[in-house]
Amino acid sequence: MKKFLRWAKPSLLLFVLVLLSACQRTPNLPPKPITDHNIDFSLVAMGDGTMVTGPQFIGCGDTIQMVESSYVDGGATTETVIQAALEALFQVEGSNYGESGLYNALYQSDLSVNSVTVSDDESTVMVTLTGSIVSGGTCDDPRIEAQIRETIKAHSPKNADISVSIDGKDLHEYFDMSGL
Protein backbone atom coordinates (compact mmCIF):
# COMPACT_ATOMS: atom_id res chain seq x y z
CA MET A 1 0.00 0.00 0.00
CA LYS A 2 2.88 2.33 0.81
CA LYS A 3 4.25 1.77 -2.66
CA PHE A 4 0.87 2.70 -4.18
CA LEU A 5 0.60 5.89 -2.07
CA ARG A 6 4.12 6.97 -3.09
CA TRP A 7 3.09 6.65 -6.74
CA ALA A 8 -0.49 8.00 -6.36
CA LYS A 9 0.36 11.19 -4.44
CA PRO A 10 2.61 12.70 -7.18
CA SER A 11 0.25 11.53 -9.93
CA LEU A 12 -2.75 12.99 -8.15
CA LEU A 13 -0.88 16.22 -7.52
CA LEU A 14 0.12 16.45 -11.18
CA PHE A 15 -3.48 15.78 -12.27
CA VAL A 16 -4.81 18.50 -9.94
CA LEU A 17 -2.22 21.02 -11.22
CA VAL A 18 -3.08 20.30 -14.85
CA LEU A 19 -6.78 20.61 -14.08
CA LEU A 20 -6.31 23.93 -12.28
CA SER A 21 -4.14 25.39 -15.01
CA ALA A 22 -6.76 24.44 -17.61
CA CYS A 23 -9.44 26.21 -15.57
CA GLN A 24 -7.41 29.38 -15.18
CA ARG A 25 -6.50 29.95 -18.82
CA THR A 26 -8.75 30.40 -21.78
CA PRO A 27 -7.39 28.25 -24.55
CA ASN A 28 -6.56 29.91 -27.86
CA LEU A 29 -9.23 28.31 -29.98
CA PRO A 30 -9.55 29.05 -33.67
CA PRO A 31 -12.42 31.40 -34.54
CA LYS A 32 -15.80 29.88 -35.27
CA PRO A 33 -15.80 28.79 -38.90
CA ILE A 34 -17.73 31.08 -41.23
CA THR A 35 -20.19 29.35 -43.47
CA ASP A 36 -21.60 30.50 -46.77
CA HIS A 37 -25.35 30.72 -47.20
CA ASN A 38 -26.85 30.92 -50.64
CA ILE A 39 -29.36 33.68 -51.01
CA ASP A 40 -31.64 34.37 -53.92
CA PHE A 41 -33.03 37.60 -55.21
CA SER A 42 -35.48 38.11 -58.03
CA LEU A 43 -35.11 39.76 -61.40
CA VAL A 44 -37.44 39.93 -64.38
CA ALA A 45 -37.35 37.67 -67.42
CA MET A 46 -38.94 39.94 -69.99
CA GLY A 47 -41.81 38.46 -71.94
CA ASP A 48 -42.67 39.28 -75.52
CA GLY A 49 -46.01 40.83 -74.54
CA THR A 50 -47.94 37.59 -74.90
CA MET A 51 -49.67 36.06 -71.94
CA VAL A 52 -47.38 33.79 -69.96
CA THR A 53 -48.76 31.59 -67.24
CA GLY A 54 -47.02 30.07 -64.31
CA PRO A 55 -46.48 30.54 -60.61
CA GLN A 56 -44.23 33.54 -61.08
CA PHE A 57 -46.12 35.32 -63.86
CA ILE A 58 -46.30 39.09 -63.50
CA GLY A 59 -47.86 41.75 -65.70
CA CYS A 60 -46.85 42.56 -69.28
CA GLY A 61 -46.02 38.93 -70.11
CA ASP A 62 -42.99 38.73 -67.79
CA THR A 63 -41.90 36.20 -65.21
CA ILE A 64 -39.75 36.36 -62.12
CA GLN A 65 -36.40 34.63 -62.30
CA MET A 66 -34.47 33.91 -59.11
CA VAL A 67 -30.75 34.68 -59.14
CA GLU A 68 -28.39 33.10 -56.66
CA SER A 69 -25.92 35.23 -54.78
CA SER A 70 -23.60 34.39 -51.90
CA TYR A 71 -23.90 35.73 -48.36
CA VAL A 72 -21.21 35.05 -45.81
CA ASP A 73 -22.71 34.35 -42.44
CA GLY A 74 -21.62 33.96 -38.89
CA GLY A 75 -24.94 32.65 -37.53
CA ALA A 76 -27.72 33.63 -39.87
CA THR A 77 -31.32 34.01 -38.85
CA THR A 78 -34.27 34.20 -41.21
CA GLU A 79 -34.26 37.96 -40.64
CA THR A 80 -30.60 38.42 -41.56
CA VAL A 81 -30.91 36.24 -44.67
CA ILE A 82 -33.97 38.20 -45.89
CA GLN A 83 -32.15 41.46 -45.23
CA ALA A 84 -29.04 40.26 -47.11
CA ALA A 85 -31.14 39.09 -50.06
CA LEU A 86 -32.93 42.44 -50.29
CA GLU A 87 -29.66 44.34 -49.99
CA ALA A 88 -28.21 42.23 -52.81
CA LEU A 89 -31.27 43.05 -54.93
CA PHE A 90 -31.07 46.77 -54.17
CA GLN A 91 -27.38 46.85 -55.05
CA VAL A 92 -27.85 45.53 -58.60
CA GLU A 93 -26.70 48.39 -60.80
CA GLY A 94 -28.33 49.22 -64.09
CA SER A 95 -31.43 47.89 -65.76
CA ASN A 96 -29.77 44.75 -67.14
CA TYR A 97 -28.16 42.08 -64.98
CA GLY A 98 -24.88 41.48 -66.76
CA GLU A 99 -25.39 39.50 -69.95
CA SER A 100 -28.09 37.27 -68.46
CA GLY A 101 -30.90 39.03 -70.29
CA LEU A 102 -32.64 39.63 -66.98
CA TYR A 103 -34.12 43.02 -66.18
CA ASN A 104 -33.98 44.94 -62.90
CA ALA A 105 -37.05 47.17 -62.60
CA LEU A 106 -35.59 48.66 -59.40
CA TYR A 107 -32.55 50.16 -61.11
CA GLN A 108 -33.78 53.76 -60.70
CA SER A 109 -35.01 53.28 -57.13
CA ASP A 110 -33.07 54.05 -53.98
CA LEU A 111 -34.13 51.59 -51.28
CA SER A 112 -32.55 50.17 -48.15
CA VAL A 113 -33.70 47.77 -45.47
CA ASN A 114 -34.72 49.33 -42.18
CA SER A 115 -35.87 46.15 -40.41
CA VAL A 116 -37.04 42.59 -40.93
CA THR A 117 -39.20 40.90 -38.30
CA VAL A 118 -40.45 37.32 -38.34
CA SER A 119 -43.15 36.52 -35.79
CA ASP A 120 -42.36 33.90 -33.14
CA ASP A 121 -44.80 31.48 -34.73
CA GLU A 122 -43.34 32.24 -38.20
CA SER A 123 -46.76 33.14 -39.59
CA THR A 124 -45.83 36.71 -40.57
CA VAL A 125 -42.85 38.50 -41.99
CA MET A 126 -42.76 42.29 -41.72
CA VAL A 127 -40.20 44.21 -43.76
CA THR A 128 -39.75 47.95 -43.46
CA LEU A 129 -37.77 49.74 -46.14
CA THR A 130 -36.67 53.33 -46.48
CA GLY A 131 -36.05 55.34 -49.62
CA SER A 132 -37.86 55.93 -52.84
CA ILE A 133 -39.26 53.94 -55.73
CA VAL A 134 -38.91 55.20 -59.27
CA SER A 135 -40.96 53.25 -61.79
CA GLY A 136 -40.31 53.16 -65.51
CA GLY A 137 -44.05 52.94 -66.18
CA THR A 138 -47.09 50.70 -66.06
CA CYS A 139 -45.21 47.48 -66.79
CA ASP A 140 -42.50 48.25 -64.21
CA ASP A 141 -45.01 48.65 -61.38
CA PRO A 142 -45.82 44.92 -61.05
CA ARG A 143 -42.19 44.04 -61.77
CA ILE A 144 -40.96 46.16 -58.85
CA GLU A 145 -43.53 44.79 -56.45
CA ALA A 146 -42.85 41.20 -57.55
CA GLN A 147 -39.08 41.58 -57.30
CA ILE A 148 -39.32 42.75 -53.70
CA ARG A 149 -42.01 40.29 -52.59
CA GLU A 150 -40.52 37.23 -54.32
CA THR A 151 -37.08 37.98 -52.87
CA ILE A 152 -38.61 38.05 -49.38
CA LYS A 153 -40.77 34.99 -50.05
CA ALA A 154 -37.76 32.93 -51.18
CA HIS A 155 -36.33 33.13 -47.64
CA SER A 156 -39.48 33.31 -45.52
CA PRO A 157 -41.12 30.49 -43.60
CA LYS A 158 -43.58 28.56 -45.76
CA ASN A 159 -47.04 30.16 -46.01
CA ALA A 160 -46.01 33.24 -44.01
CA ASP A 161 -47.98 36.44 -44.63
CA ILE A 162 -45.56 39.04 -45.99
CA SER A 163 -45.99 42.71 -45.20
CA VAL A 164 -43.75 45.33 -46.84
CA SER A 165 -43.72 49.05 -46.19
CA ILE A 166 -41.57 51.89 -47.47
CA ASP A 167 -41.30 54.85 -45.11
CA GLY A 168 -44.52 53.73 -43.42
CA LYS A 169 -46.54 53.27 -46.63
CA ASP A 170 -47.61 49.77 -47.70
CA LEU A 171 -45.75 48.63 -50.82
CA HIS A 172 -48.96 47.72 -52.64
CA GLU A 173 -50.27 51.29 -52.19
CA TYR A 174 -47.48 52.59 -54.39
CA PHE A 175 -48.99 50.78 -57.36
CA ASP A 176 -52.71 50.66 -56.49
CA MET A 177 -54.57 52.60 -59.18
CA SER A 178 -58.00 52.09 -57.60
CA GLY A 179 -57.89 55.44 -55.82
CA LEU A 180 -59.03 53.85 -52.54
Confidence label for 71 from pLDDT (cuts 50, 70 and 90): low
**SS3 state at 69:** strand
Domain-embedded: residue 126: yes
- Give percent of the chain above pLDDT 70: 68
CA atoms of 152 and 12, how far apart (whole Å): 60
Q: Best-predicted range by mean pLDDT among 7-16, 47-56, 96-105?
A: 96-105
Range of the domain at 109: 35-175
- Count of domains in the chain? 1
Domain-embedded: residue 86: yes
Domain-embedded: residue 11: no
Confidence label for 33 from pLDDT (cuts 50, 70 and 90): very low
As a whole number, mean pLDDT of residues 77-103 equals 91
pLDDT of res. 72 = 57
Domain-embedded: residue 4: no
Domain-embedded: residue 15: no
